[in-house]
Amino acid sequence: MSEQLTPRAENYSQWYQDLVIKADLAENSAVRGCMVIKPYGYAIWERMQQDLDRRFKETGHSNAYFPLFIPKSFFSKEASHVEGFAKECAVVTHYRLKNDPDGKGVIVDETAKLEEELIVRPTSETIIWNTYRGWIQSYRDLPILINQWANVVRWEMRTRLFLRTTEFLWQEGHTAHATQEEAIAEANQMLEVYASFAEDILAIPVLKGRKSANERFAGALDTLCIEALMQDGKALQAGTSHFLGQNFAKAFDVKFTSKEGKQDFVWATSWGVSTRLMGALIMSHSDDSGLVLPPRLAPIQVVIVPIYKGDEQLELLTQFIQPIITKLKAKGISVKFDNRDTHKPGWKFAEYELKGVPVRIAIGPRDMENGTVEVARRDTKEKSVYQVTDLDLKVEHLLSQIQDNIYKKAQTFREENTYRADSWEEFNKILDDKGGFIYAHWDGTPETEEKIKEMSKATIRCIPLGNKLEAGKCILTGNPSIQRVVFARAY
Amino acid sequence: MSEQLTPRAENYSQWYQDLVIKADLAENSAVRGCMVIKPYGYAIWERMQQDLDRRFKETGHSNAYFPLFIPKSFFSKEASHVEGFAKECAVVTHYRLKNDPDGKGVIVDETAKLEEELIVRPTSETIIWNTYRGWIQSYRDLPILINQWANVVRWEMRTRLFLRTTEFLWQEGHTAHATQEEAIAEANQMLEVYASFAEDILAIPVLKGRKSANERFAGALDTLCIEALMQDGKALQAGTSHFLGQNFAKAFDVKFTSKEGKQDFVWATSWGVSTRLMGALIMSHSDDSGLVLPPRLAPIQVVIVPIYKGDEQLELLTQFIQPIITKLKAKGISVKFDNRDTHKPGWKFAEYELKGVPVRIAIGPRDMENGTVEVARRDTKEKSVYQVTDLDLKVEHLLSQIQDNIYKKAQTFREENTYRADSWEEFNKILDDKGGFIYAHWDGTPETEEKIKEMSKATIRCIPLGNKLEAGKCILTGNPSIQRVVFARAY
């Protein structure tokens, strides 16, 4: 068939690109670095959004919306934010087009130049904290627990669908607190929300940890993260949660009066995940036949393909299958009955494999006579014949099994690709041979971290939460180290 | 209390502004013309989104996402689109900032100038049809039924929160069809979706009609609309659905092979509603005490305010009320129990009135003894004492009554403010005295329409669907007319 993907073993990066395109998830657009998220890809993203949104609301957050544009001067206010943040941003300088006097089409009206340029938001801390100043006077106004679903723009030179695009979709939480303890607890809580979402819904095991100073978000005092391991042995940062201290409150002069009547700056957090999660999802579970979706995330959980000749047979099969569909739907299972006569069953099988539908049920006239169906699971590709009695219960159970199996498989892969390296040679050998997470000693200095990155292209992914302290020697400098940290090459 | 609004009779426009700010719906931002949608306002918008999204999906549409930026040249491709569409757009010319060498802060890096300027989407027909070209080869690829939830930017000189802002949130449907009939049916269907949403959920009666040629969307062959009448006698266009013919398909060369093997251009529709609906909602139902929300849209449908002295009384009241809350929630009613000790009951009553919560339940120690509560409805401000027996059923019934009453009130208002004018004098007198919808004869020419607009500031809101033909004379020119059309001054 024409939809064949480049095998992973041949070219992982091409496999990824093929899969995203051929499974109808996304494509490149006419605008450099910006993607079109196609309906099937967007349906998966929507399910991620819904589940996350529910978790945010359950932990007391509300959604709100702040402007797309940020005045340029705002970026100068928080020194470490402007210093550390990438300056590749889309800049709006004019606000009008006009008809080209020399011919057809439109040109920029040079007389409509903005006094101050506007930046398309790369992240919204600055505009949000400028707004919070008007909302916060007293401890009674705190905490503020807000999330925003939005598009953001970072002008990337080398882009890859979902993983690194100029425009991407994300959510950004921005909270304001009366005390440092409360803000730290919030940052921790949101990391846990992300971790359980990744593990329970996406079936991706994640390492929870803390970034080294070098890898912190610009303006943060502490950056927590969840790190996932992709099938090619590279790491992917799947979500971050920042404790921002009072940095943004100071930059935007946001003070409050405490219960005791004292004035103090407000404490802040921010946290986000993005359409990058789509990349993590694809690279965690999929295979050479296409996408593998965990059932809890799949827009279509079960597809039913009738195998028939002529309208009469289809009619009989439909009558037979309809009560089963009704029962499946009553269990909250999303079912697609693909009775299109424009495509053959074999084509449909390949198509739903490509799209990662967890369970495929095929039924032909002989099955009907026997009161059976053929059930194929996407994750293992096993096929079984099921009696239709209680098929809804069996399928429900199977979906749950698949969810578990996908998670366990990814977990086993991670375990098998997690190493300890005790020398620089060993470290590099692992990186070059297999990749994976490498626990290694580091002397704790930014300089050494930088050198390791330059020499090996591996970065410190995180210092795991609750990391065991253990005396050792830095793999590069041999200087004393108090703990192993997790290195990997990363997306 | 400090939250008093300017009365509508004194200054309607100031009342609107006061309400939006004081009910915590939205506020102006640091960026000219862009608003911040606050959590309470956003919660209402979210409920609109959810209900519309469900209706879109029920009618077979999927969501997708297209780029924020559109290459400037795309706007030159569809002649009537570029001609008719406002040119007030945000133009991105550069893609990098840099540290200011002369001091602190950032400046635009002039070396990072785009070869072709990018326009922040004011609407997405051009980029979407450019994308559809790659998706459509054969009739098998049709129809494409896609919706996008997005932010758009139109550089407005005079802005008003929700009603006219530089950036706003909306949904835009973009569909592609094999036949003209199918596209027209789609445009009609989506108008019906909008109308029933407006009437059933927002409780706003709407007039369904067709725009005159002058008022059509740039690039459309036919623009259908729903028009609502605000309390000040001005009309507000609450949604539009366009039949675009083959204009965009021709501009972007989107052809398909029909079942019969012929090549033809694809037929299109587009349709949208925006955060403007928030303005329509406010101006349809609210009063001098604040927002009035239809129960089906209200984020909080019932607020319960305990009236107590000391923790012990609160504890008893809470025990008494808890089973009632549980029962209300079991009926799917959203309930807030406001037991804050930071504010007095009177303050809370005013606050929830301002925020339009449909039902307020107050309960004090004496009520508890009597097994009663005091129930106040927001729409009529009537208070009644209810026995707590079956309170959930009573409240459910009351919410439904309120929904109906709000709709009927708006409908009565519209009826009382719908007029027929048979002369130019009469027409202007109605406009100046009361406003409202005016059914009047028009000779059908764009020139007359333009003159009427210039002289009276009234526009043709629509030619109602199924309009009765009736011979008459144009109110301005006296020329023959075949039907009355609906005029009004509008937002």
CA angle B487-B170-B205, nearest 5°? Answer: 40
Q: Answer yes or no: is pLDDT of B81 > 80.
A: no
Token look-up 């993005």 returns A274
3-state secondary structure of A15: helix
Note the pLDDT of residue B342: 87
CA–CA distance, A405 with A399 (Å, rounded to integer)? 10
Chain A positions in Cβ-Cβ contact with residue B150 (cut-off 8 Å): 151
What is the domain partition of chain B in residue ranges? 12-66+124-285, 302-401, 418-488
Band of the pLDDT at B304, cuts 50, 70, 90?
Answer: very high
pLDDT tens profile A220-231: 999 999 999 999
On the question of a common fold for A302-399 and A419-488, the answer reads no
Q: Using an 8 Å CB-CB cutoff, list chain B residues near A43.
A: 62-63
Model confidence at B1: pLDDT above 70: no
Residue A84: pLDDT band (50, 70, 90) is: confident
Partners of B117 on chain A (C-beta within 8 Å) are 94, 108
Six token digits for residue B132: 């559809």
Q: Does B64 touch chain A (CB under 8 A)?
A: yes
Contact B473, B441 (CB under 8 A): yes
Residues in contact with A182: Cβ distance below 8 Å, sequence separation at least 6, in sequence order:
A143, A267
Q: What single DSSP character describes residue A164?
A: B
Rounded Cα distance, B86 and A72, in Å: 26
pLDDT band at B83 (very low <50, low <70, confident <90, very high): confident
Asked if B75 has any chain A CB less than 8 Å from its own CB, the reply is yes
Q: Percent of chain B scored above 70 by pLDDT? A: 99
Q: Is the model's pLDDT at B44 over the cut of 60?
A: yes
Mean pLDDT, chain B, whole residue set: 96
Residue with tokens 């004869």: B441
pLDDT greater than 80 at residue A78 = no
**Hey, are the CB atoms on A30 and B146 less than 8 Å from each other?**
no
Report the gap between the CA of A40 and the closest CA in chain B (Å): 8
> pLDDT value at position A3?
62
**CB atoms closer than 10 angstroms to residue B309:** 9
Tokens linked to A302: 């079960």
**Which stretches within A261-303 are classed as H helix?**
276-285
* The pairing of beta strand A459-464 with beta strand A480-488: antiparallel
Phi, psi (deg, nearest 5) at residue B452: -60, -40
Measuring CA to CA, how many Å separate A198 from each of A203, A271, A276, A290, A351?
6, 15, 12, 21, 26
CA A194 to chain centre: 10
Query: Which residues between 131 and 150 in chain B have a beta carbon less than 8 angstroms from any beta carbon of chain A?
Result: 131, 134, 140, 146, 150
Across the interface, whether the CB atoms of B95 and A155 are under 8 A apart is answered: yes
What local confidence, expressed as pLDDT, does residue B333 receive?
A: 98
C-alpha neighbours within 13 Å on the C-beta side of residue B131: 27
Domain B418-488: give its CATH architecture: 2-Layer Sandwich (3.30)
Q: Do B38 and A64 touch (CB under 8 A)?
A: yes
Pairing of strands B302-306, B359-363: parallel
The answer to whether residues B176 and B132 touch, using CB atoms and an 8 Å cutoff, is yes
Per-residue model confidence as pLDDT tens digits over B215-245: 999 899 999 999 999 999 999 999 999 999 9
**According to the model, what pLDDT value does residue B103 have?**
75
Residue window 19-48, chain B: list those with CB within 8 Å of chain A. 27, 29-31, 34-39, 42-43, 46
Over the stretch B173-201, which tens digit does the pLDDT of each residue have? 999 999 999 999 999 999 999 999 999 99
User: Are B177 and B291 within 8 A, CB to CB?
Assistant: no
Condensed to tens digits (0 to 9), the pLDDT of residues A424-477 reads 999 999 999 999 999 999 999 999 999 999 999 999 999 999 999 999 999 999
Residue pair A231/A284 in contact by the 8 Å Cβ criterion: yes
B461-481 per-position pLDDT tens digit: 999 999 999 999 999 999 999
**Cβ separation of B74 and A30 shorter than 8 Å?**
yes
Kindly determine whether residue B106 and residue A140, on different chains, have CB atoms separated by under 8 Å: no
Q: Which fold has domain A12-285?
A: BirA Bifunctional Protein; domain 2 (3.30.930)
B242-264: pLDDT as tens digits: 999 999 999 999 999 999 999 99
Residues in A touching B108 (Cβ below 8 Å) = 72, 91, 93, 117
* pLDDT tens digits along B335-386: 999 999 989 999 999 999 999 999 999 999 999 999 999 999 999 999 999 9
Residue in A207, A229, A239, A356 with CA at minimum distance from that of residue A284? A229
- When pLDDT is averaged across residues B126-155 and rounded to a whole number, the result is 97
CATH T-level assignment (fold) for domain A302-399: Rossmann fold (3.40.50)
Does the pLDDT at position B131 exceed 50?
yes
B342/A contact by beta carbon, under 8 A: yes
Q: What does the DSSP 8-state code read for residue B74? A: G
Spatial contact of B236 and B491, defined as CB atoms under 8 Å apart: yes
**What is the Cα–Cα distance from B62 to B143, expressed in whole angstroms?**
12
Residues of B in contact with A125 (CB under 8 A): none
Report the distance separating Cα B249 and Cα B14, nearest Å.
45
* pTM for this prediction: 0.97
What superfamily would CATH give domain B302-401?
Anticodon-binding domain (3.40.50.800)
CA distance B39 to chain A (A): 5
Architecture of the domain delimited by A419-488: 2-Layer Sandwich (3.30)
The whole-angstrom distance between B45's CA and the closest CA on chain A is 10
Q: Which CATH superfamily is domain B12-66+124-285 in?
A: Bira Bifunctional Protein; Domain 2 (3.30.930.10)
Chain A contact set for B127 (CB, 8 A): 29-31
Of the candidates A76, A93, A169, which has its C-beta nearest B65's C-beta?
A: A169
Burial class (CB in 10 A: 0-12, 13-18, 19+), A488: buried
**Tens digit of pLDDT for each residue in A25-44?**
999 999 999 999 999 999 99
Q: How far apart are CA B161 and CA B175, in angstroms?
A: 30
* CB < 8 Å to A88, chain B: 95-96
Going by their DSSP bridges, the two strands A372-377 and A437-441 should be labelled as unpaired
Mean pLDDT on A99-120: 90
In the structure, what pLDDT confidence band is assigned to residue A1 with cuts at 50, 70 and 90? very low
- Residues B116/A108, Cβ–Cβ less than 8 Å: no
Nearest by CB to residue B71, choosing from A30, A68, A151, is A30
pLDDT per residue over A400-409, tens digit each?
Answer: 999 999 999 9
